[in-house]
Structures are given as C-alpha cells and as structure tokens.
Amino acid sequence: MTVLTLLHTAEVHARTFRALAPEADLNQQVRSDWLARARDGIGADLKAEIAAAISAADGPVLCTCTTLGPAAEEAGAIRIDWPMMQEAARIGGPVLMAYCLDSTVAPSEALLRRAFGGCDPQLVPVFLGQHWPLFETGAGAGFSAAIAESIAMALKDGAFGCVVLAQASMAGAAAVLRAQTQVPVLASPEIAMRVLLAQR
C-alpha cells in the first residue's frame, strides 16, 4: 500500500485526517514550529526544510497548512486548499472566504483567483482572527461554533455562491453551517483527502 505523507502544523490536523481515512497508510508529521516561523514570511532556511521533508517522502505528500502551501507546492506537494479552490471555481462566486490568520489571506486569495482563471470570483474576505485563541487553547467545539456563528451573520449581508473555509483548522464549522444555510460550505480536509487517496 502506498504511504501518504501529510505535513501538519498542529496535532489536531493529524486526528482529523486519520478520521477521514482510517484505513490508509498515513505518515503524519506535525511541525508547529514551521507555522510560528512562517508568520512573518517564509525564509530560505524554512523553505529548504519543507523541501527536504517533501523530497524524503515515499509517495504523495499533502501540506495541510495554508500559510506554508506555496512553498510546499513549489517543492512538489499538494496544497490542501487547491482542490477546494477548484471546487469553488466550479460552483462560482461571489465567494465568502473566512480566515483567522493574516498570513493565510494572501496565499488563499492568490490560489482562489488562480482556480477561477480569467473570471472574477467576487471575493469577500472575512477575518475571524478574534476566534483563533479558542483553537490555540484546544477549545475545538467552541472554535467551530464561533466561526460558524460569525459566517452565518456574514451570509445575511449578501448572496453568495459558496463559502470557503480558508484554513483546515476551521473545518469543524462546516457541518454546523451546512445545517443553517443552503449555500455550499467548502472545507479543505475532506476535499483534499479525496484527491490524495486517488493518487495511491
């Protein structure tokens, strides 16, 4: 069986992906230090470390951190949010894109626009950084509920084609939101895992 390597920046993501693919042979590596170092930009040393981890893998590699995505893709990995952005482009805009970290918004927007090609995604970014401390302290259910509540309020302000949860850590809010709205809510872990499993 092909080994699938996943590069995470938080232990919670390892649990998420194990639940998504309980039968798969997963090599899950958690490097929280990478995200801390990348907050102010990805330097040459960090880029080299990411590339080394990817080149050492025996099989497909998925990077589950949006901030590290560009560097990981450059080194040959799948970016967790690329399949999600392609799905958003298939659905069409306007796209409400929720995110919690400033370091996420630029790579996420660039990837979304790449997926849309020459079309305007009519992007509406929504910053939800006020809820990030809940995630950092391990209050997963509270974090998901707070994210869902804020997005539900934002959806009332306009008509949207879909919602993009820009960070894998926000995926727990998807189920909550799907019970409240007819607008498609896209979360990267489930979509990316389908793509990764297809490469085995």
pLDDT at 46 over 90: yes
**pLDDT score for 124:** 96
The CATH number of 82-187 is 3.40.50.12500
Who contacts 98 (Cβ-Cβ below 8 Å, separation ≥6)?
Answer: 125, 126, 128, 147, 150, 151, 154, 163, 164, 165, 166, 170
Q: What is the pLDDT of residue 107?
A: 87
> For 39-124, where are the alpha helices, taking DSSP H only?
44-55, 69-74, 82-91, 102-116
What is the pLDDT at residue 3? 87
pLDDT at 152: 96
Give the torsion through C-alpha atoms of 105, 107, 112, 116, to 10 deg.
140
Chain region(s) in the chain for CATH 3.40.50.12500: 82-187
Instruction: Place 1 in a pLDDT band, splitting at 50, 70 and 90.
Output: low
Whole-angstrom Cα distance, residue 54 to residue 73? 10
Tell me the whole-structure pTM to 2 decimals: 0.86
